[in-house]
Structure 1
């Protein structure tokens, strides 16, 4: 079952109507009913009661996302939410590392005290806590210099800010955010591949697959770095869609259009 993105969006956000200056085009977008005038929505094509939201030449009609554009916007906002949530989690991790750097001795003492309390249980199950890989890894972190941990915390915070900025930019469908997402995500792909060589997990595989798909989708779909005609082709596609939206909504068949007659201004218009 296919999704009607146009009607779905109009149901949530409302319709968008426009009265073009061209007479024949305007007549196809407009109708009179027993309850008042209605105008055809540029997104879903349904007639809407009330005055149009805008008026002017057809080629100046608002850029109304429709069909594939709405689907693209939905995908971008899904990626935006994922980026923002990831950024917030990394902020928490950065705070934890910074907090740990300021209280290493206290945490070390607490860890060793708790480890001593668990030793009888571990000995009962013949488990050597002192030479456990997990315990050895934790003890190594206690040997890190405070300055090193603070640098790690700052790096994590910087990475988190990039993720959050990406997220908000993608939510608002900003082109600079698409470039930032492609560059930043692609830069970390080798690290994600390296992590998979160390230890494979479904979470890591899923994260890598999502990031690869996001890079390819934004790179090709948004015509970044000159691909598929680049920015000019992207803007031309958007601008041509504006006029086509009006024509398609009005059922235009390519006949020449006549502009509305201009009524001379009178004293009453100035008052």
Structure 2
């Protein structure tokens, strides 16, 4: 069953009505009822009792997102939440690296002490801690210089900032955020492909597919980088989605052709 994005949005945010000064358009958007005047919602097309939310010339009517635009807005906000949450987790990771860099020796002593405690248990289950890949990886981190860890923390913070800014921009439907999302996501695709050559997992495959689809969806759907007519075609598509624009076009006389 398809989703009626117009009525779904009106149910959450309320209707948007407008009284145009042009008499023929006012007649199309206005209705008299036993309960009083009703005006047609510019988003869902239903008639709503009460005074219009605004009035003026048709050209000054609010541009109300409808249909496909609302669906795209929902998907973009889903991506915005995902980007913002990822940014928060990366900030926490950066803080953890920074904290570790300032207490590296204490963490190493704590790790070695507790490793000796669990060693008899590991031997009982025939697990060799001295040749464990996980233990070896942890021990390697103890050999990193303080300056190296600080650089890693700074890079993580920079990446988190990009993700959070991208998330906020996508939530606000900013076109620069859509460009940032495409560029930033596409930049990491080669790394994700390289990781698959090292070790294949369903999580890595799913992440790669989702990111590729996100890049294609935003770039093509939002007509970025001049695709499908670019910004001019995108703005025209949004204008054509306005009910009042449709009514204006329908009410214009057909130009005569010289035969």
2:257 match:
none
- What is the Cα-based RMSD across aligned positions, in Å? 1.7
Q: SS of 1:164's equivalent?
A: helix
Distance in 1 (alpha carbons) for counterparts of 2:250 and 2:100: 70
- 1:71 and 2:95 matched: no
Identify the residue that residue 112 of structure 1 maps to in structure 2: 112
CA deviation digits over 1:123-156, x for unaligned, max 9? 2233221121111111000000011011001101
Is the 1:25–1:247 contact (alpha carbons within 8 Å) kept by the matching residues of 2? Answer: no
Map 1:248-259 to 2 at 5 A.
248=246, 253-256=250-253
Q: Which residue of 2 is the match for residue 132 of structure 1?
A: 132
State the SS of the aligned residue for 1:127. Answer: coil
> Using the alignment, how far apart are the partners of 1:239 and 1:41 within structure 2?
16
Q: Deviation at 1:207?
A: 1.6
Q: CA deviation at 1:255?
A: 4.7
Q: Which residue of 2 aligns with 1:83?
A: 83
- Matches of 2:250 and 2:128 in 1, distance apart? 82
Change (3 A) 1:255 1:234: closer
For the residues of structure 2 that align with 1:49 and 1:117, how far apart are their CA atoms? 75
Matches of 2:202 and 2:59 in 1, distance apart?
A: 50
| CA shift digits 1:103-126 (9 cap, x unpaired) | 110000000001101111122233
Q: Is 163-172 or 192-201 further displaced after alignment?
A: 192-201
Q: Indicate whether 1:241 and 2:241 are aligned.
A: yes
1:143 maps to 2:143: yes
Structure 2 counterpart of 1:93: 93
SS in 2 for 1:65: coil
- Cα distance, 1:167 vs structure 2: 0.5
Q: Which residue of 2 aligns with 1:208?
A: 208
Give, in whole Å, the separation in 2 of the partners of 1:215 and 1:256.
42
In structure 1, runs of 5+ residues without a counterpart are: 258-271
Which runs of structure 2 are paired with 1:156-235 in the superposition (5 Å)? 156-235=156-235
Report the TM-score when normalising by structure 1.
Answer: 0.89
CA contact (8 A) 2:30 2:40 kept: yes
Name which of structure 1's ranges 121-130 and 24-33 shifts more when overlaid on structure 2: 121-130
Q: CA deviation at 1:238?
A: 2.1
Q: For the residues of structure 2 that align with 1:220 and 1:203, how far apart are their CA atoms?
A: 26
Question: Within 2, Cα distance between the matches of 1:144 and 1:253?
Answer: 70
Instruction: Write the distance in 1 (CA, Å) between the matches of 2:123 and 2:237.
Output: 71
Task: Give 1:239 shift.
Answer: 2.8
Deviations 1:168-210 (A, max 9, x none): 1001100000011111111111111111222222222222111
User: Which residue of structure 2 aligns with residue 264 of structure 1?
Assistant: none
Q: Using a 3 Å threshold, how does the CA distance of structure 1 residues 124 and 253 change in structure 2: closer, same or farther?
A: closer
Deviation at 1:251, TM superposition (A): 9.6
TM-score by length of 2: 0.93
In structure 1, the partner of 2:9 is 9
